[in-house]
Structure 1
Amino acid sequence: MQGLYALPPGLDFADCFVQGLLERMSDQPPEALARVTILTNAATTMGALRRAFDRAGPLLLPQIRSITGIDPGPLVMPDPPVPPLARRLQLARLIAQMLALRPDLGAGHSIPVLAQSLSQLMVEMQTEGRDLSDLEAIDTGDHARHWQNALAFFKIAADFHLKNSWEDRPARQRAASEAAARDWPQGIGLPQGPVIVAGSTGSHGATRLYMQAVAALPNGAVVLPGFDFDQPPPVWDGLERADDHPQARFAPLIATAGYPRRWTQAQPPSAARNRLVSLALRPAPVTDQWIAEGPALPDLVPATADLTLIEADQPGQEAETIALIMRDAAERGDLITLIAADSGLIRRVTAALDRWHIRPDDSAGRPLPLTAPGLFLRQVAALFGQPLTIDRLLILLKHPLTATGSTVIKRNDMLRETRELELQLRRNGPAFPDADTLADWATKGDETRKIWAEWLAAMLVRITALARDRGPRPLPDRLSDLMGLAQALAAGPAGDVDQSRLWQDKAGQMARAVLDHLAEHAGLGPDIGPGDFSALLVTELQAKAVREDVAGHHCLRIRGPREARLYAHGTVILSGLNEGGWPQHLSPDPWLSRQMRAAAGLPLPERQIGLAAHDFQQGIAAERVILTRAKRDAEAETIPSRWLNRLINLMSGLPERNGPAALTAMRNRGQHWLQLAEALSRPAQRSHSA
């Protein structure tokens, strides 16, 4: 067990990996397995491997760890890493000082968004082993003045941020990888037992360097997921320059460790379909190979017999059709996995399934900003620096968390008074309610209205003061204002915030933890205005998601594209296959242009397209696959995903392999589901007897 191994697309990676490992350990005593260390790329992979070992029977389990958690050790870096939030706030302070001198450099961006993008760029610098000297080598003579100014600031920020490598986890991972690559070949610091890297593509420099070091160990192995064994050697030779290709991440590993061997002899569900997809996804400079190799493909009708193509008219129809397919699988007890990159499509599908009271197992959960506490905090933060309109006030009063800590007024009474207030304000105004308006309205009702109006008038006094505060203020003060106002609104008249529902459930506890963590490091941040504070709040909340406590249907799973390597088996729905959906649009880099990134030795933006393409290649190799897209969105006609477009074009150009007939059959199978979904959405016709 030494060197580079791989599993082809379409196999259950976790089960096949465990099977191959147990076969290799079959001639050793049971305790030998406990000395094996398995390094994975993500927590989801760790969980899948543990479940696969459980299914394998009673065993002494190996050590399963995350490859991103490798560390050079306390002797090299004795101090613990600094929390990423603290580092982002330090960068935000630098950016705020820059914008005070050069506002044009941050036009159209908030300070938190700029700090987030700059932090991500620093992570790339650290994982790729780059430093200030690489930035100094960039020739900006042919670049616009904006890029020259941005690079000048980036050099200052990099000199500050990259100075102490022990402060950041990515830098520590890079240091550990460099130490392994340097010391292990000399026999220094060798691992005590076998080491296996499983499920990682080596997309980051630090991870790739460590994988190369492990593959060179006498008792080390690297097992790649979704490796294309159908790709000919000449394509691999030039693949390092094709960042948007699904297999490009494997090219550097092959260059150092050689061509991988099969980890097991398990075969994918359809080898013929894998050959078709492999040819369709060839790099753009060699698509002339379609003409040369296309006629050698097998008959495409049986190769695509388990492929279905659904082209809906609009996203709502796509979601309803997907929900109908998942309902059918639930009725038959068949396992089905929806893989989607578009969170909006996932919400539509979940809502469509809810009509039958079916709850799928969604691994992503609900983003914290979309939960009740997250929305409440965002709505309160939106009051800062903005005049209080009728709509803003009513949205806040009707929120299910408002005044839930009060014992002197019940929820139904509060909603009734809110409705009466809405009628009053809609009819008579004013457009911007204030405390005087509430005082006059309170005299025209009973004691309940008086209690409610007096409390609300006091809240409006606080809100009005915060609405007039539009200038930059210290971040701790902004956060204190948010916490104070949110808790007062949740407590209600003569209420207690601890008795309210603001921090009680899982989402509330998570939101409170986010705010407490932000408060702990707020002193490092800059003075910011209300708009930047709202952006910072959303950014921090967006990093968290809440999994529902209610168990989902055991047959229905919703997963993200990165989980395709673990769940792309059985029946799979690849949804949202439009440009901008899957793959998603590339985020612009406000700091370095594409040419500047290449000159600094940093990954190009197209790398994200290549990673998404690899997810697609693994997903489409499942036993049964349903491809879905919408022809239009809310604004205009959509463009099919580049991978789906390539597949359709290749099949259309191979009449001698029955490509057009196979494509028509795929669309006919999809049309069947579209017709069923349309019939289901149509109201039942009632017959009227004469």
Structure 2
Amino acid sequence: MTNGIRHGLFTIPSGTGFLKRLAEGLLTMSQENQGDDFALTRMRVLLPTRRAGRELRDAFLGLSKGKPLLLPRLQPIGDVDAEEIELYLSGYGATGYDIPPAISSIERQFLLAPLIQKKDPSLGLDAALSLAGELARLIDTVHTEDLDFKGLQDIVPATLATHWQKTLEFLEIITTYWPMILADRGQIDPADRRNRLLKSLAQLWREHPPETPVIAAGSTGSIPSAGELLKTIAGLPQGMVILPGLDVELEAESWENITDTHPQATMRNLLERMNKTRADVRIWPEAAGRSSHRAELLRSVMRPADRFGVTDHASLTQGLKDLNIIETATPREEAAVIALAIRETLETPQQTACFITPDRMLARR
């Protein structure tokens, strides 16, 4: 670290308060630039969502104890502005990236619906619109994974060719006719445009590295184009990629055997894309020594099946500390117990409570 500048790959362990630790680190970096009152404002922080940006702003507000503070530029990683890229390039006398505008979701749905009705005239408009929404999601999924529809006819074995042929004929809507409509309108799909913008920004920064810090925090690079941008940022002179809860203590055997459904899988894939290993990832200084006592318990629960049971008993005992299980006879009784526990916590000074459940009916009770 020099003059408040950090560089490379970092992680903030789970259970340590990701956004608060991030805000503390950025404030520390800005304060280390003595005499530069605007060091914080020159930072660009790329976050996974707009909500994360709002919560990071609140974290800064909490650290400043309500005093006015000029914040960094907070931006969702997928919200790239084509005009900004053009403006950036103009400063280098370079040519721009000709990226067509994206078609709106509702406009796309209403354009796809008549194509569906032509394939099946028996469908009403409401059914056609519903199918159009599903086709639009399929289009976006393919673009998000940076794939295309080439070779679609070869997916299904020849033994199912007759049935699959009917599906292919229906999918001509998006493989043949839809690209023609977009080309005629001079538009592209939203996910396609996002991919092109992210790739353009990555190329731009590789060729013309920013002179100010760029921090990508909280993203795991699950979208290939975003992963490429993260790789670029990690290699910038003032670039930082801060991964959320990378398990740097999981033993090598388990790390190599985790499957694509494991929570750590996307970060492992991202590191492989970057040609990096966990040894290249440092703990964010403000999060050092703050590992949660539940970490080993969660690590044991999520360990691959063939590695289950390697955790020592003492670590599990510590992870189970203050963990209670209450069995109830009815959902109503369950809701009442939870409500009482939350009420007791909230009536205790300096205590907070959090209720997490996938059961919406339970949450309403």
TM-score (ref. length: structure 1): 0.45
**Structure 1 residue 92 and structure 2 residue 113: aligned?**
yes
Partner in structure 2 of residue 76 of structure 1: 97
Partner in structure 2 of residue 129 of structure 1: 146
Q: Which amino acid aligns with 1:67?
A: I
Secondary structure at the residue paired with 1:16?
A: helix
Offset at residue 147 of structure 1 (A):
4.3
| Separation in 2, partners of 1:142, 1:208 | 38
Q: Is this contact kept in 2: 1:215–1:221, CA < 8 A?
A: yes
Offset at residue 209 of structure 1 (A):
2.3
**Structure 1 residue 66 and structure 2 residue 71: aligned?**
no
Matches within 5 A, 1:87-486: 87-100=108-121, 110-135=127-152, 138-143=155-160, 145-162=162-179, 163-164=182-183, 166-185=187-206, 187-188=207-208, 190-239=209-258, 242-257=259-274, 258=276, 259=278, 260-264=281-285, 265-268=287-290, 270-271=292-293, 273-283=294-304, 287-291=305-309, 293-294=310-311, 296-333=312-349, 334-348=351-365
Q: Is this contact kept in 2: 1:132–1:159, CA < 8 A?
A: no
| Separation in 1, partners of 2:238, 2:76 | 19
Partner in structure 1 of residue 11 of structure 2: 6
Secondary structure at the residue paired with 2:31?
A: coil
Offset at residue 43 of structure 1 (A):
1.8
From the superposition, tell whether residues 128 and 312 of structure 1 become closer, same or farther in structure 2 (CA, over 3 Å). same
Secondary structure at the residue paired with 1:308?
A: coil
Matches within 5 A, 1:573-652: none
Q: Is this contact kept in 2: 1:43–1:66, CA < 8 A?
A: yes
From the superposition, tell whether residues 118 and 297 of structure 1 become closer, same or farther in structure 2 (CA, over 3 Å). farther
Offset at residue 45 of structure 1 (A):
0.6
Q: Which amino acid aligns with 1:85?
A: I
| Separation in 2, partners of 1:78, 1:290 | 49
From the superposition, tell whether residues 85 and 267 of structure 1 become closer, same or farther in structure 2 (CA, over 3 Å). farther
Q: Per-residue CA shift, 1:428-483, capped at 9, x if unaligned?
A: xxxxxxxxxxxxxxxxxxxxxxxxxxxxxxxxxxxxxxxxxxxxxxxxxxxxxxxx
| Separation in 1, partners of 2:151, 2:256 | 27
Cα RMSD (Å): 2.8
Q: Per-residue CA shift, 1:252-305, capped at 9, x if unaligned?
A: 22113322211134344633x31122122123xxx23224x13x3425333311
From the superposition, tell whether residues 326 and 72 of structure 1 become closer, same or farther in structure 2 (CA, over 3 Å). same
Q: Which amino acid aligns with 2:191?
A: P
**Structure 1 residue 49 and structure 2 residue 56: aligned?**
yes
From the superposition, tell whether residues 25 and 288 of structure 1 become closer, same or farther in structure 2 (CA, over 3 Å). same
Secondary structure at the residue paired with 2:45?
A: strand
Structure 1 segments unaligned to the other structure (5+ residues): 349-690
Q: Which amino acid aligns with 1:16?
A: R
Q: Is this contact kept in 2: 1:71–1:173, CA < 8 A?
A: no
Offset at residue 221 of structure 1 (A):
1.3
Offset at residue 78 of structure 1 (A):
6.5
Secondary structure at the residue paired with 2:230?
A: helix
Q: Is this contact kept in 2: 1:40–1:67, CA < 8 A?
A: yes
Partner in structure 1 of residue 89 of structure 2: none
| Separation in 2, partners of 1:36, 1:137 | 48
Worse-matched range after superposition: 163-172 or 215-224: 163-172
Q: Is this contact kept in 1: 2:215–2:239, CA < 8 A?
A: yes
TM-score (ref. length: structure 2): 0.80
Secondary structure at the residue paired with 2:314?
A: coil
From the superposition, tell whether residues 12 and 210 of structure 1 become closer, same or farther in structure 2 (CA, over 3 Å). same
From the superposition, tell whether residues 270 and 14 of structure 1 become closer, same or farther in structure 2 (CA, over 3 Å). closer
| Separation in 2, partners of 1:312, 1:77 | 61
Secondary structure at the residue paired with 1:332?
A: coil
Q: Which amino acid aligns with 2:272?
A: A
Q: Which amino acid aligns with 1:21?
A: L
Offset at residue 146 of structure 1 (A):
4.4
Structure 2 segments unaligned to the other structure (5+ residues): 1-5, 87-95
| Separation in 1, partners of 2:302, 2:357 | 20
From the superposition, tell whether residues 139 and 13 of structure 1 become closer, same or farther in structure 2 (CA, over 3 Å). same
Which structure has the larger Rg? 1
Offset at residue 140 of structure 1 (A):
4.2
Identity level (%) = 31
Secondary structure at the residue paired with 2:222?
A: coil
Q: Per-residue CA shift, 1:388-414, capped at 9, x if unaligned?
A: xxxxxxxxxxxxxxxxxxxxxxxxxxx
Secondary structure at the residue paired with 2:155?
A: coil
Offset at residue 79 of structure 1 (A):
5.4
Count residues with an aligned counterpart. Answer: 333
From the superposition, tell whether residues 345 and 3 of structure 1 become closer, same or farther in structure 2 (CA, over 3 Å). same
From the superposition, tell whether residues 7 and 161 of structure 1 become closer, same or farther in structure 2 (CA, over 3 Å). farther
Partner in structure 2 of residue 16 of structure 1: 21
| Separation in 1, partners of 2:13, 2:108 | 40
| Separation in 2, partners of 1:81, 1:15 | 35
From the superposition, tell whether residues 118 and 22 of structure 1 become closer, same or farther in structure 2 (CA, over 3 Å). same
